[in-house]
Structure 1
Amino acid sequence: MRITVLILTLFISAMVTPAQACRGDVTTAMDYLPGDWVVMGGETEVLGYSEIREGAGGCALRERWEGMDGLEGEALFTARDGGRRWQMVWSDSDGMSLTLSGQADGADMIFTGTQDSEEGEVLHRIAYQLLFDIGEIHQLWEYSVDGGRNWEVFFAAWYLPEDA
């Protein structure tokens, strides 16, 4: 009987451990991303819609983007280090593909990565800022062609819950 209880306890522990390995005690914007979002560029400008789902026992998020301009994109986010670090792979219907590494900065997540272009290396920085008080997430995507000395805004948006 004791062996059966021990085996059952070990089995249940093994089932619980992976999710705990991906989500630690830190709370970031990534915890609030799963859901259906209207993505706004301002008070009245709808940029598109984003559907974000959790998977792999809390170790991954998958985003499906549909822009009002016809652009479609997908992102896969994978958690590491108790949710303090993430990896993001983005691909869209314009042929853009990026792999970025993210790290918690308080409740925010900051992703950075590089992309080769005909003009040289482009540095990308995507920040997800959690706005606790109003239940929104602000995304700021910037790029630099001079190694990070100067930044240009590529995409700035506010994620509002679709049912709000």
Structure 2
Amino acid sequence: MESAMLSVKCQTRRASLGGALLLLAASFGLPAQGGFAQSAAGQRARPCAERPEARQFDFWVGEWDEEVGNKKARTNSVQLILGDCVVLENWAGAGGMNGKSFNFYNAAARKWHQTWVDDRGGVLEFAGEFKDGAMRFAGEASHSDGTKMTQRLTFFPLEKDRVRQLWEQSNDGGKTWAVVFDGVYLRKKPS
């Protein structure tokens, strides 16, 4: 029975990740399967590198130590991949937990998207924009009992080598907010 439940959980995780990857492909106008026919307009080698909106989250790219309350908590490696179309986060947390987020600008929707997946089966999806000097995401998730919660995730570029991340959650549709995480990323010095 336990192995059957694990199998269902694994299939659900694969389906969620597969759906996220299909969404990612669709947002770039790529076919979900097979060949990559290119139109004359789509023959540019790096279209995302040339799109100013797709560069709005580049301030987060780099190697980081994460501080919470002036104490080093975790590490984070954030890179540009897929022709600079995706900002990929590789997060290594306390207690051996690891996660990745795929961040990309969907030109058709004129929105940024973040899909977070961790090694414990967690999946979070956000949409947002760069506004008022910060990258601002919002999304809905469910508690284990099925009730909905609203979440917002904000990245503030503080200075060249510091970024603040604020993650908040509301259980009453956004009337009140509780802080889930508030930390600062400090860019690692080259060795």
After alignment, is 143-152 or 84-93 more displaced? 84-93
TM-superposed deviation, 1:16: 4.7
Q: Distance in 2 between matches of 1:35 and 1:110?
A: 19
Gaps of 5+ in 1: 1-9
- Which residue of structure 2 aligns with residue 58 of structure 1? 84
2:166 counterpart letter in structure 1 = L
Question: What does 1:16-55 align with in structure 2 at a 5 Å threshold?
Answer: 16=45, 18-20=47-49, 23-24=51-52, 28=56, 30-43=57-70, 45-55=71-81
Q: Is the 8 A contact 1:27 1:107 kept in 2?
A: no
What is the DSSP-based 3-state SS (H/G/I as helix, E as strand, rest coil) of the residue aligned with 1:69? helix
Q: TM-score, normalised by structure 2?
A: 0.69
From 135, 154, 157, give the equivalent of 1:109. 135
- Which residue of structure 2 aligns with residue 7 of structure 1? none
Quick one: structure 1 residues 63 and 25, their matched pair in 2 at CA, closer, same or farther if it must change by over 3 Å? closer
Q: Is the 8 A contact 2:99 2:119 kept in 1?
A: yes
Question: What does 1:1-20 align with in structure 2 at a 5 Å threshold?
Answer: 14-16=43-45, 18-20=47-49
Q: Is the 8 A contact 2:127 2:137 kept in 1?
A: yes
Question: What does 1:124-143 align with in structure 2 at a 5 Å threshold?
Answer: 124-132=151-159, 135-143=161-169
- Which residue of structure 2 aligns with residue 150 of structure 1? 176
Q: Percent identity?
A: 25
Quick one: structure 1 residues 107 and 81, their matched pair in 2 at CA, closer, same or farther if it must change by over 3 Å? farther
TM-superposed deviation, 1:93: 2.7
Q: Is the 8 A contact 1:114 1:124 kept in 2?
A: yes
- Which residue of structure 2 aligns with residue 5 of structure 1? none
Q: TM-score, normalised by structure 1?
A: 0.80
Q: Distance in 1 between matches of 2:176 and 2:103?
A: 27
Gaps of 5+ in 2: 1-38
Matched, 1:79 2:105: yes
Give the superposed CA RMSD: 2.6
2:80 counterpart letter in structure 1 = E
* Higher RCO (Cα < 8 Å, 6 or more apart): 1
1:71 counterpart letter in structure 2 = M
Q: Distance in 2 between matches of 1:114 and 1:13?
A: 34
